[in-house]
Structure 1
């Protein structure tokens, strides 16, 4: 089932969000197109944050919502909530079994090709959020399929490179490790533009100065799963945000649409 996006507004990390973009809703589930910079819920990681997707959606709908999965704060895209604890449990079971499929778009450094990366990742533990967890982090299976959609080269020297090369990638994670896509692309030596944790500082500075980019260029564009109540195949699409699309057009990628 698909529903047309309700809002088409430009949202950036520094602008307050007044109304969330609901891209899917029925009596059991609701999904938003989360803007980059918005936390899913309150977190010790940022005590100064004043807006949270879960609370905002609760206020917008006038009822409690249950988050099914997470998106990193700087990542935009499909974020699914249940409207009851029973539906939340059923959907959580699907995610635990890796039944839903996810598709992301990312702009990365260099000319990246197609492939599948099977590269285990060590658990990332946060000093604050995970202070009570065992600090003996282990490596866990992590698999990502990736496909290059477009490549572009700009006549600007960046770091040791004579020109600025970028690839627009379609990413399909088969597992759900913390920062998996960001870490996997960094491992491939094609870090995602705007990634301040795993990316390339010089490329990020270039994208900020020359492309007017102020966000992580990673977007969760599609989520597909079996509806827990109707058992229908359900596909939720989240249109590419205006700030992401603007950067692509600045690069010369102007025929792209979700």
Structure 2
């Protein structure tokens, strides 16, 4: 596992797509987990402090002791961690926007059998900025060409599958998303580019270090499979000068009531 950062209390790695963070009853057949790999690599126990979906690649942080784990988990829960992702989505999005759309809790039959079934939808906010667009001369679906956008995405809340569900909500699903995406475009990327992964990666985390209070920003490069897609779609130079995601004046608001 590529180690991005390590000190006496924290370690951050660049998790590949398709790897679980830890053992889960949902994927009981899996035998390799990020937690296990990092533990064996460092030769010591590590503690997960946040979630990263199995198909999502990018920065994954572990604490090296229980006290730090509690404090880091609190930072994530309180929204005190700035999270930035790169995503390839279907269609041309607006240049920038904010998705303010409450999300109902998604329950897993095997792991959430004791969770509340009538829990109200929870507030969820996601900012995004478009970095590039691409149009391919292939009819995928009802249009004569296929259009895609490269986005810098910053979720301000941490709901389950938030980015994937929010992008679906505005009709720009993340390419490669088998749960919330567009099967026709997923199939096109498999046959045309040999891409069988979710094109979503956690590329930056920023937070106050739980020990020193100093601002710590972690960055992760795109892995080869994601970078190849970026290059094939003509966005290779875009990532060299990526603007700060910031906030957008445009808001897409559609709250559950």
Runs of 4+ deviating beyond 4 Å: none
1:41 and 2:22 are equivalent in the alignment? yes
Contact 1:30 1:83 in 2 (8 A): yes
Q: 1:257 is paired with a residue of what secondary structure?
A: helix
Spell out the pairing of 1:1-258 with structure 2 (5 A cutoff): 20-113=1-94, 114-257=96-239
How many residues are aligned here? 239
TM-score by length of 2: 0.91
Q: Cα distance, 1:252 vs. partner?
A: 2.0
Deviations 1:108-157 (A, max 9, x none): 00001111011000100011111122222420000000100000101111
Partner of 1:11: none
Q: Cα distance, 1:91 vs. partner?
A: 1.0
Q: Cα distance, 1:238 vs. partner?
A: 0.8
CA RMSD of aligned residues (A): 0.9
Structure 1: unaligned runs, 5 residues or longer: 1-19
Q: Which stretch shows the higher mean deviation, 127-136 or 237-246?
A: 127-136
Partner of 2:252: none
Q: Distance in 2 between matches of 1:120 and 1:179?
A: 12
Q: 1:245 is paired with a residue of what secondary structure?
A: helix
